[in-house]
Structure 1
Amino acid sequence: MLAIYADTHATDGHRLEGPALEAARDADLVVHAGDFTTERVLDAFREEAERLVAVHGNADSGTLRERLPETRSVEYEGVRVALTHRRDGGETGLEMFGRSRAADLVVSGHSHRPGVTVAGDVTLLNPGSHAQPRGNRPGFATLSPTDEVLSGHLREPDGTTIERFEVTLGGEP
């Protein structure tokens, strides 16, 4: 399973609990689209995750910016995932970012608003914020391999499903 988070905005820990914490612990790979805020929060995620791939966000400390890149890509079960905190240009900018990295899935944060959009042959996913939703539904996402696709769930931290989606190799919905 792949577990996806963003916008933790904490100073003292990961702020994960219940199903959101279980997902981080059970995942083969955890990705985080930035705004941990402090190194203690990043380190707390690393303690829970078997494997963590992350980028820095605009609210991250200088030391975090030194430790984490602005963008990166990773493969999971044959799906190429491009990771960024934010991209100018909205959905078009995120789609172009994904295409430039031959990505099937683009994960971003910044807005604290959970959502999934299919943009051409790229799926755009913002998991929202599990800890500071700022007027939006709190969120995180999980994706699990099933029959040549990744079956995704955008969830609230208590496990309530916000939206179901699929990502296939090549970005076809």
Structure 2
Amino acid sequence: MSSAEIPLDPLALELCALSKTFKLGGDMLHKPRTLKAVNNVSLRVPRGQVMGLVGESGCGKSTLAKMLLGLTPPSAGDVLINGKAIVNANQKALARHIQPIFQDPYSSLNPRQRIAQIVGLPLRIHAIGTPKEQAVKIEEMLDMVGLPKRAAQQYPGQMSGGQRQRWRLPGH
């Protein structure tokens, strides 16, 4: 796929017989072991729907998520977004269509970025507004979740656990 925009399709996300295997260990005397992290997963998510991925520890959730975000190539199968395979998709164009929401705010927030940088990332990716307009929008978003303006200049580690969870959930 070229770096052009991904066209819209009624089916937003489709995983077709997606699998990922890893080779573990091995040396001159021993063959590497094969680990099937994800095995033949297929699903369809229509436009406007939301999908949650749950499962026990070690069942392949993170590997599946990395494949559908285009961060890890599948060993077999395809990930289609808006009817187009994401193989060689432009990461910026892909990020306009699919984004994860992580459960754990401690590990999902970049500790080296200020909250304004993190919250403003989607505005920059989608080229929404000028930098000045983006700053105003960031303040509005922080206000929506009950955080003071000064939170924009804080790092995630300077916020309480409740604040870290709250800033990314509008209306909560």
The bucket for the TM-score relative to the shorter chain is under 0.3
TM-score (norm 2): 0.23
Greater share of strand residues, 1 or 2? 1
